[in-house]
Amino acid sequence: MGFSALVASALCTFLLPLLLFLAAVRLWDLYCASGRDPSCPLPLPPGTMGLPFFGETLQMVLQRRKFLQMKRRKYGFIYKTHLFGRPTVRVMGAENVRHILLGEHRLVSVQWPASVRTILGSGCLSNLHNGQHKHRKKVIMRAFSRDALQHYVPVIQEEVSGCLTRWLGAGPCLLVYPEVKRLMFRIAMRILLGFQPRQAGPDGEQQLVEAFEEMIRNLFSLPIDVPFSGLYRGLRARNIIHAKIEENIRAKMARKEPEGGYKDALQLLMEHTQGNGEQLNMQELKESATELLFGGHETTASAATSLIAFLGLHHDVLQKVRKELQVKGLLFGPNQEKQLDMEVLEQLKYTGCVIKETLRLSPPVPGGFRIALKTLELNGYQIPKGWNVIYSICDTHDVADLFTNKDEFNPDRFMSPSPEDSSRFSFIPFGGGLRSCVGKEFAKVLLKIFTVELARSCDWELLNGPPTMKTGPIVYPVDNLPAKFIGFSGQI
């Protein structure tokens, strides 16, 4: 082969693909820039759009917190990117987030990535709009009224107490996060869907837990449904969950009257559908039930695990919780064994502040997705119509000016309503506006009962020290938080 042939071969092998790649990147940049609305004089936010088609999705999924921190340092509180197949603007800071959350149905509308919409389904609350969303939310809210929550308290207390007893006999090392997830799953199954413990059995329960974990791992994936893709695996896991939920729905339809003396959220949805003379849509009920289970156990498991981590690292805070319980007569003597109720729980102000501070530093859900209904202006930039908007909960907490010594775990900051409680958009662990979390009062009650039972039953040591937290999509400890639990000695 002559020299010229070698050169030609090298060009074809190395240079031509490189040139094609660079041309594709340039065309991608031009395509992304063309998304700017020429009728608006403001520029697009700063930022980069990543690789053709993939955008910056892979970096975000693989690096998550590191990626987001780098973006915030480089571009500030508003920046553009390209995630999950869509041009996206990420927004943080109380004022910016307030503008987005209060613009629901007027400036923006909820739109989760295609993979989330496909897996959770069009019939769940998160994917409904306008009147349909308002109507469905009103029905579900009946399951979280104060009277309904009072019915749930003894069920939660029974499950938590039994779980902690098992932890105390677990030996020198217990992986907290998987155990908490299983506990919260059992509570959500009983309260939100009316499953009784005997229905699934330990093997069936474990199968459901594993299916949920597989579904959640693949919620945020590229919208490609081919064998072995994230979306394919997520849909397969969801179908296992749907099959079990359908069994439960049919059992409810045959039984007519609910067990346990209260109506769970699924029962209320079924009654509402039948009461309006509508045809019972099994698919929508399954999608709604799956969403309730997702929201009712994954987020609370994340928060409860963070509670254990923070209290394990800050023994002085745990002792202050115990002193509050002692003042209320809940730490020693016969009152420790009596069942809690809503009135008693509402009096535990400091315990509530511990939960708030946990949610400030480690919010289970990092943010929410919207789509711009029209080109809107935000802090000197334009967000073009049709672009996705992500409002960041974790970053908004991080940059909130109202919080002093932001990295410090200090529940006392919430004991006074001023100044750090004065801006509702500086502290948004449950979102805000029309789409704030429908189950937030349930979550608060559940976490407060968990904290009370934990504080008066257990002492524990974090075997690996402060955990490294990861998002996928819910916040969790990378090492599953190994800990050693022993019975509370009674010393405060």
Domain boundaries, the chain: 36-487
Q: Higher confidence at residue 284 or residue 197?
A: 284
- Looking at residue 393, what is its pLDDT? 94
Nearest CA among 208, 155, 175 for reference residue 167: 175
Please compute the mean of the pLDDT values over residues 33-53 and round it to a whole number. Answer: 85
Q: Higher confidence at residue 182 or residue 24?
A: 182
Please compute the mean of the pLDDT values over residues 247-265 and round it to a whole number. Answer: 73
**Two tokens at 394?**
């974790």
Q: What is the rounded distance in angstroms from the CA atom of residue 192 to the CA atom of residue 311?
A: 28
Q: Cis check for the bond before 46: say yes or no (omega within 30 of 0).
A: no
Cross-sheet strand order for the sheet of 458-462: 174-175, 482-487, 458-462
Distance linking the first and last C-alpha atoms of the chain: 86
β-strand partners of 367: 392
Of all residues in the chain, the percent with pLDDT exceeding 70 is: 86
Number of H helices, E strands in the chain: 19, 12
The CATH number assigned to the domain with range 36-487 reads 1.10.630.10
Nearest CA among 115, 139, 319 for reference residue 218: 115
Q: Which tens digits make up the pLDDT trace of 257-292? A: 666 566 787 887 787 766 665 555 788 888 888 888
- Looking at residue 5, what is its pLDDT? 62
- Looking at residue 334, what is its pLDDT? 62
**pLDDT of 75 higher than 50:** yes
Start-end of H helices in 169-229: 176-192, 197-217
- Looking at residue 127, what is its pLDDT? 78
Q: Are strands 108-110 and 367-372 parallel, antiparallel or unpaired?
A: antiparallel
Question: Looking at residue 44, what DSSP letter applies?
Answer: P
Question: Looking at residue 170, what DSSP letter applies?
Answer: S
Region at 380 (left for phi over 0; alpha for psi -120 to 50; beta for the rest): left
Cβ neighbours, 10 Å, residue 244: 21
Greatest alpha-carbon span in the chain:
96
Please compute the mean of the pLDDT values over residues 52-71 and round it to a whole number. Answer: 80
Q: What is the rounded distance in angstroms from the CA atom of residue 229 to the CA atom of residue 181?
A: 25
Highest mean pLDDT of the ranges 297-301, 303-307, 423-427: 303-307
Residues 6+ apart with CB under 8 A from 419: 402
Global pTM reads 0.86
C-beta separation of 42 from 72 below 8 A: no
- Looking at residue 421, what is its pLDDT? 47
Please compute the mean of the pLDDT values over residues 44-64 and round it to a whole number. Answer: 82
- Looking at residue 466, what is its pLDDT? 95
Please compute the mean of the pLDDT values over residues 208-237 and round it to a whole number. Answer: 86
What is the H or E stretch that residue 18 is in?
A: helix 16-33
**pLDDT of 6 higher than 80:** no
Q: What is the rounded distance in angstroms from the CA atom of residue 443 to the CA atom of residue 303?
A: 9
